[in-house]
Chain A
Amino acid sequence: MSLKGKAAAIGIAELKPWKEAPPNVTPLGLMGRLMAEAIADAGLEKNAIDGFLVGMPVADPGFIYPASAAEVLGLNPRMLNVVDIGGASPAGMIWRAAAAIDAGMCSAVLCIVADLNRLGDQRVPVVSVQREFEAPYGNIGANCGYAMIANRHMYEYGTTPEQMAKVAVDQRKNALRNPLAAFGDKPLTIADVLGSRMIVDPLHLFEIVSPCSGGSAVIVASPEVARRAKNPPAWLLGAGEYSNHSSITYAPSLTDSPIKPAADHAFGMAGVERKDIDLVCPYDCYTITVLVTLEDAGFCKKGQGGPFVAEHDLSYAGDFPCNTHGGQLSFGQPGLGGGMSHVVEAIRQLMGRGGARQVKNVARAYVNGNGGIMSEQVSLILERRS
């Protein structure tokens, strides 16, 4: 059993994130816009969409959400569900869509996320265990957990603040060529990053993702539908998923993440090696997340993420193109749209639509989605066939 070559992404849509929520806009309103754009991009009729995977918007959550969202959007799906694995949800939607297609349940799945940034204050966790054993000590929001990962990584492997900052700097070079990036107007230096305000030691402001409003969509289709699509399909070659904790305190390790089993599964299914990958799009809620992902996904040795990013050019024109849209750190994090941005960029590049940041001769991309505090991991390998 494998999903290799069983489905392909054929259409994408993405909004430029807004820092604040624009007035008179709802998450479902944004989804409607994104759905129309993605369907037009794929060259389909609306009634061709027969599968629906949706992310729950924080700004307008609901109970038994998929059918109510599908009703608003005017969809009659043969398969519908919420995918609720945090920032890994969008990557998780892609293989779930492929699995449903391969099982004969549907043939064209709309994977969609949209949200508004109205939080202001980070809410107290809704998971009761975390409310009881984390929140009283001030472990609220994601910053603290990633800061403790970064401190432990520095302790175990000698990783430096300069190495972590380099991720934000190189990704900004990419964002300068992405008209949809919310933070793509001026370059960033390592001194800028390390000179920005310390938020949670050792993480500075420019190493931390910025919450935004926005959204994105991807249409995943059967081989039959993909063959008559407008765009060159981005085929799913491999996928893997893994989780071994929710709160980072109870993870087996702060520095060995559940990315490894997810990535190994994806590469095993795809039957390709790390050296066969031309573009990586790792989830980058923080700079440290990218280092740990590159290590655990097998692009460098464990503990060597710091020296690896220092020695390689992560820009679209570099020797190791990484998050060519700028990553969430420069694109912005419109809720789950942050995690979808990595998926959308990989597809866009494989379709040859990277514009001023197009990676040359890109045939295969690796995407990683990460939820919670390294809690849920989804790795994908996508391919363009010539």
Chain B
Amino acid sequence: MSEYHKPLPKPSPVSAPYWDAARRHELKLQKCGGCGAFIHYPRPQCPNCMSENLEWRPVSGRGKLYSYTVVRRASSRSFADGPYVLAIVELDEGPRMTTNLLAAPERIKIGMPVTVVFDDVTPEHTLVKFKPA
């Protein structure tokens, strides 16, 4: 098995539950007990209402493609192994996230429905990616 050379997330005490859930192939986001908003990326405090009462909740894993690009020449050598689709997905629960869309570029349309997939890139690390729904 070839080694994985791309950057990996180093969870913080705040974000660890997000990555732990991903390793179990679950998508969980923080939900604010103060204003009810879902939050991504994980924060120590709600950026809307300043509440620190944030709970981890499972979410649908469904959303829409907000925008994307096919990176043909990456700025970082660690991604020089070929084109990839970088995307922003807007989850049904509201927040947007940076991700990869696993789809052929000619099939991709902004606004298309997408669904989460979990990519176990190393035994310890799972990245949250999406595919057309």
Contact = CB atoms under 8 A, between A and B. Distances in A.
Given A148-B67, A254-B67, A136 B7 contact: yes
Interface of B: 6-12, 15, 41, 66-77, 79, 84, 86-88, 96-100, 105, 110-111, 127, 129
A274 interface: no
Contacts of A250: 41, 96
Contacts of B110: 151-152, 155
Given A132-B15, A132-B41, A200 B69 contact: yes
Given A151-B67, A155-B67, A138 B100 contact: yes
B69 A148 contact: yes
A247 B98 CA distance: 9
Contact of B10 (A131, A137, A198): A131
A140 B75 contact: yes
24 contacts: A124-B7, A124-B76, A133-B9, A134-B98, A136-B6, A137-B98, A137-B127, A138-B84, A140-B7, A140-B76, A141-B74, A141-B75, A143-B75, A144-B71, A147-B71, A148-B68, A148-B86, A152-B66, A201-B70, A203-B69, A249-B96, A250-B96, A254-B67, A254-B88
B40 to A, nearest CB: 8
B11 A132 contact: yes
A197 interface: yes
A386 interface: no
Q: Which 3 A-B pairs have the closest CB atoms?
A: A141-B75, A122-B75, A147-B69
Looking at A132, A135, A137, A248, the one whose CB has the most chain B CB atoms below 10 A away is A137
B4 to A, nearest CB: 10
A121 interface: yes
Contacts of A138: 6, 71, 74, 76, 79, 84, 86, 100
B41 A129 contact: yes
A81 interface: no
Contacts of B67: 148-149, 151-152, 155, 254
A361 interface: no
A200 B7 CA distance: 20
A24 interface: no
Nearest to A154: B110
A202 B110 CA distance: 13
B74 A140 contact: yes
A198 B73 CA distance: 8
Contact of A200 (B10, B72, B88): B72
A124 B66 CA distance: 24
A133 B7 contact: no
Nearest to A148: B67
A131 B7 CA distance: 8
A72 interface: no
Contacts of B127: 136-137
B77 to A, nearest CB: 5
Of A122, A144, A152, A254, chain B has the most CB atoms within 10 Å of the CB of A144
A286 B67 CA distance: 17
A147 B8 CA distance: 23
A228 to B, nearest CB: 48
A199 interface: yes
Interface in A149-169: 149, 151-152, 155
A197 B9 CA distance: 31
Nearest to A152: B67
B72 A201 contact: yes
A137 B79 CA distance: 9
Interface in A243-279: 247-250, 254
A135 B7 contact: yes
A133 B79 contact: no
A85 B35 CA distance: 31
A304 interface: no
A143 B88 CA distance: 14
Given A144-B69, A155-B110, A121 B7 contact: no
Contacts of B86: 137-139, 144, 148
B94 to A, nearest CB: 12
Nearest to B7: A135
Contacts of B73: 197, 199-200
Nearest to B101: A137
A34 to B, nearest CB: 28
A341 B17 CA distance: 45
Contacts of A128: 12
B41 A136 contact: no
Contacts of B76: 121-122, 124, 135, 138, 140-141
Interface string A177-206: 000000000000000000001111111000
